């Protein structure tokens, strides 16, 4: 059932177009803005306990709905899982954004390319086509895990509540960074790093299987940062290694930037297929058993 929900959600994500209107988290920001001031007077809630309490209510509601739908009608449970997955992806379509950047570059529309680059990076793009291409490559390798693969893994482990947990944790990290909540900022960042650790390694291994396996593992092995701080570094190193590039070299910057970005997007697509193939194998093994 989980595999079917994943396939339907990925197909819908690819062919239904932009779903930003569906993925609105204003309700969660209002909820956090209402609850955080009420937690601040209690010192024991200004930390991990407060983060857990903040997430507990929406995740509890999703878990309860999923449980009762599963007891009542499996088809409704499947539909609910697909809707939660679609809500938890993104919040924007990484593949569509990268394709739009590539298309603008190939058309020679620099203004449009810079706009799409700023949307991808979430900030003003750096000057220089090679430097910008490298930043987009790195961001694509990281965001593929953040927007899709981490969501899928937590969905497999904990169901719809797991997928939503990862997305809400990311949203809460953004909220505490931009709107105060300093007491909860560090626990939220630590929770996000913990939740990203396992999917980040699986994503990095998927890059290796989808590209140059030896180069990817060697680049991964050179990352020596502490376990909770190097999710981004591992994804970038393994992805660049899978592409045949290495951090610090200028190969990617010397080639046509749209071409190497396109290679990165192809790697991400292959990594998603590798991930799905492994899930399918385990699912089939479970059915046969």
25-65 per-position pLDDT tens digit: 888 888 888 887 777 777 767 677 888 888 999 999 999 99
Q: What is the pLDDT of residue 247?
A: 58
* pLDDT exceeds 70 at position 136: yes
Global pTM reads 0.88
Q: What is the pLDDT of residue 181?
A: 60
Per-residue model confidence as pLDDT tens digits over 104-116: 888 877 788 888 8
Region 228-239: what's the mean pLDDT?
83
Q: What is the pLDDT of residue 180?
A: 60
Region 247-266: what's the mean pLDDT?
70
Q: What's the chain's average pLDDT?
A: 84
Listing DSSP states for the chain in one string gives: -HHHHHHHHHHHHHHS---TTT---HHHHHHHHHHHHHHTT-GGGSSHHHHHHHHHHHHHHHHHHHHHHHHH-HHHHHHHHHHHHHHHS-SS-HHHHHHHHHHHHHHT-HHHHHHHHHHHHTSPPPSSHHHHHHHHHHHHHHHHIIIIIHHHHHHHHHTHHHHHHHHHHHHHHHHHHHS--HHHHHHHHHHHHHHHHHHHHHHHHHHHHHS-HHHHHHHHHT--S-TTT-HHHHHHHHHHHHHT--TT-SHHHHS-HHHHHHHHHHHHHHHHHHHHHHHHHHHHHHHH-
Distances (CA, A) of 97 to 21, 80, 128, 231: 16, 27, 20, 22
Instruction: Indicate the range of 13-27, 201-215, 244-258 predicted with least confidence.
Output: 244-258
Per-residue model confidence as pLDDT tens digits over 168-212: 999 998 887 776 666 677 888 889 999 999 999 999 999 999 988
Instruction: Indicate the range of 73-77, 105-109, 110-114, 127-131 predicted with least confidence.
Output: 127-131
Angle between helices 129-144 and 94-107 (to 10 degrees): 160
Count of Cβ atoms closer than 10 Å to residue 217 Cβ: 17
Give the span between the Cα atoms of 265 and 71, in whole angstroms: 40
CA atoms within 13 A on the CB side of 137: 32
């Amino acid at each position: 059932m989980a595999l079917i929900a994943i396939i339907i959600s990925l197909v819908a994500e690819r062919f239904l177009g932009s779903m930003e209107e569906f993925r609105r988290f204003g309700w969660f920001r209002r909820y956090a803005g209402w609850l955080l001031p009420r937690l601040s007077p209690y010192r024991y809630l200004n930390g991990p306990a407060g983060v857990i309490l903040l997430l507990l209510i929406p995740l509890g509601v999703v878990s309860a709905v999923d449980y009762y739908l599963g007891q009542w009608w499996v088809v409704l449970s499947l539909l609910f899982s697909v809707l939660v997955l679609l809500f938890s992806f993104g919040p924007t379509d990484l593949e569509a954004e990268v394709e739009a950047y590539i298309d603008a570059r190939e058309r020679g529309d620099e203004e449009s390319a810079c706009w799409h680059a700023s949307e991808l990076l979430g900030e003003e793009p750096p000057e220089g086509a090679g430097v910008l291409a490298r930043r987009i490559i790195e961001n694509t390798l990281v965001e593929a895990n953040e927007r899709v693969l981490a969501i899928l893994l937590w969905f497999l482990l904990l169901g719809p509540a797991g997928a939503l947990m990862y997305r809400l944790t990311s949203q809460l990290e953004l909220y505490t960074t931009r709107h105060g909540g300093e007491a909860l900022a560090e626990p939220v960042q630590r929770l996000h790093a913990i939740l990203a650790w396992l999917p980040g390694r699986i994503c990095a291994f998927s890059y290796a299987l989808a590209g140059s396996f030896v180069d990817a593992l060697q680049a991964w092995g050179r990352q020596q940062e502490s376990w909770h701080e190097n999710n981004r570094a591992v994804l970038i190193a393994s992805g660049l290694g899978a592409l045949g590039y290495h951090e610090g070299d200028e190969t990617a910057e010397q080639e046509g930037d749209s071409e190497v970005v396109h290679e990165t997007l192809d790697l991400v697509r292959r990594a998603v297929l590798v991930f799905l193939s492994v899930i399918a194998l385990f699912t089939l093994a479970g059915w046969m058993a």
